[in-house]
Amino acid sequence: MLKLPALLRSVSRARSDIDELLAKPTWSVKSLLPTDSQTAAAPTVTPEQLRHLLRLSALPEPKDAAEEQSMLATLRSQLHFVRAIQEIDTEGVSPLRAIRDETKPAEVESEIGLHSAAIKEALAQEEVKGEHYKRVITKEREEDDVTKRAEDWDVLGYAEKKAGKYFVVENGNAQN
């Protein structure tokens, strides 16, 4: 069993080790971007492949050759970044399920159960009806301001053209 002074020294040493570790970065975003030589060595994406990807993505094609070259350079840079991420050794690292605190205390805190105050309040507002084995649970509906405003909303208020209770959409094939 460690005595208090020895324990304090080990904690202090551990803190200084952590401070030393965090004092300088071990990587940077710049290291994930390709250098000029890496860009030249990277597999090329042809303009035809770029246009195909843009069509699949429902994105507009480049307006001119300069914009196309810029898009190709950006795509090569992004592919280099993805390859750098894929090379990271993740052996023994459990997969991330979500971007949130996944520790046991955090999971317990985020659990929803009957002990939750919000659940108790919601259940208290329900009314049980029926006899024997048929039970219908209904919740009293309160008419709130949002519902009232939704019902009073003028759907056609911003329509440029109307025909009775319908709005009119003109297509490019209008005949005179």
The answer as to whether 79 is a domain residue is: yes
SS3 of 3, please?
A: coil
Reported as a single tens digit per residue, the pLDDT across 39-71 is: 656 667 899 999 999 999 999 999 999 999 999
Between 13 and 174, the higher pLDDT residue = 13
Identity of residue 13 = R
139 assigned to some structural domain: no
Mean of the per-residue pLDDT values for the chain? Answer: 77
Measured from the Cβ of residue 77, the count of other Cβ atoms closer than 10 Å reads 16
pLDDT the model gives residue 27: 75
pLDDT of residue 176: 47
Percent of the chain with pLDDT over 90: 15
Asked, for residue 37, whether it belongs to a domain, the answer is yes
Q: How far apart are CA 17 and CA 32, in angstroms?
A: 27
Bridge partners (DSSP) of residue 139 are 126
> Hey, which residues does 138 pair with through a beta bridge?
127
Judged by average pLDDT, the poorest of 2-6, 10-14, 140-144, 166-170 is 2-6
Share of the chain residues as helix, strand and coil, in percent rounded to the nearest 5: 50, 5, 45
In a domain, 72, yes or no: yes
Has residue 71 been placed in a domain?
yes
Structure tokens at 42: 């990277």
128 against 55, higher pLDDT: 55
Domain presence at residue 150: no
Structural domain total, the chain = 1
Do the beta carbons of residue 80 and residue 43 sit within 8 Å? no
| Residue 54 structural domain | 27-86
- Measured CA to CA, the distance from residue 133 to residue 153 in angstroms comes to 42
- Residue 30's Cβ-count burial label (10 Å; 0-12, 13-18, 19+) is exposed
Residue 53 included in any domain: yes
pLDDT of residue 71: 93
For residues 143-147, average pLDDT: 69
- Mean pLDDT, residues 107-116 taken together: 79
User: For 77-100, how does the pLDDT look when each residue is reduced to its tens digit (9 = 90+)?
Assistant: 888 888 888 888 888 888 877 788
Looking up tokens 């290291």 gives 31
109 assigned to some structural domain: no
| Helix axes of 47-56 and 65-86: crossing angle, nearest 10 degrees | 80
pLDDT value at 147 more than 50: yes
Q: Cα(82)–Cα(32) distance, rounded to whole angstroms? A: 9
Element (H, E) at 139: strand 136-139
